[in-house]
Amino acid sequence: MSVITISREFGSEGTAIAEKTAQALGYHFADKNTLEKILNEYGLMEFDRMYETLPGFWDRFDAHRMERRLILVEMLNKTIIALARHGNMVIVGRGGFAVLEGLADVLHVRVQAPLQLRIRRAVEQPSIAEPSRGEMLVAENDRIQKAFIESIYGVKWDSAKNFDLVIDTGKISPDMASEWLVEAVKALKVPDLSGIRTLAKLGVDRILASAVEDFFKCAKVHV
């Protein structure tokens, strides 16, 4: 039972790599939509808005808002853990690498690409008509991801030391990257030592674990 977390820059094709890897391994694929659907069952429908906004100066004096934010973050972390404990999972974004940091049976991957290439890929999207909008879209997504990870988890979003593997899709094609990840997971060896941290040693919320199981059962039925 292994898990892959993929942190990616906007325009790096990290999501496509994650989907191809999950399909090749026969793993479940979990992205922001997966997390939001599970969190929505608990009435936490404002998670997406929280992700895109950070508390301003005056918000920090609003106890209710800060308490609500802490609840959302706690539930996000518990959901990521429940997904990981379900096993055979590719988790995209939302700080998965930080929540599951230091676990021997989790492979942490960062997918990045040169800025100009990411802008070009953004401009190629049908909804983006002007090159300047592509540059703004990339910059805004970078700002949001960086702010969320660094404010919530206190780690550098783009630091290579947080990952087991960093892939630059300016040099490595998404297909090759996916092949690398498949081989890396198959070769992943977990030392048989009592002091090693693994997924099995993580506590999991039983209700969330059940919700994750039901979610993927339902998804399988509708495939």
55: Cα within 13 Å, side-chain hemisphere: 16
State the angle between helix axes of 14-25 and 174-187 in degrees (0 to 180), rounded to the nearest 10.
50
* pLDDT for 21: 96
Going by the DSSP 8-state scheme, the letter that residue 25 receives in this structure is H
The domain 3-221 is classified under which CATH number: 3.30.565.10, 3.40.50.300, 3.40.50.2300, 3.40.50.10310? 3.40.50.300
Tokens 């941290």 belong to residue: 197
pLDDT value, residue 213: 87
Cβ–Cβ under 8 Å, residues 34 and 83: yes
- Eight-class DSSP state of 172: S
DSSP E strand stretches across the chain:
3-8, 28-30, 89-92, 106-112, 165-168
To which H or E segment does residue 70 belong? helix 63-86
Q: What is the pLDDT of residue 183?
A: 93
CB 72 within 8 A of CB 151: no
Please list the pLDDT of the chain residue by residue as tens digits (223 residues). Answer: 689 999 999 999 999 999 999 999 999 999 988 888 887 776 655 555 555 555 554 454 455 566 667 777 888 899 999 999 998 999 998 889 999 999 988 999 999 999 999 998 888 877 666 767 888 889 988 988 888 888 888 898 889 999 999 999 999 999 999 999 999 998 887 766 667 888 888 888 888 888 888 888 876 644 4
- Residue 101 has a pLDDT of 93
**Which candidate, 79, 103, 104, 80, places its Cα nearest to that of 91?**
80
Give φ, ψ of 3 to 5 degrees: -135, 145
The crossing angle, in degrees rounded to 10, of helices 63-86 and 206-221 is 60
Q: Are 148 and 77 in contact (CB under 8 A)?
A: no
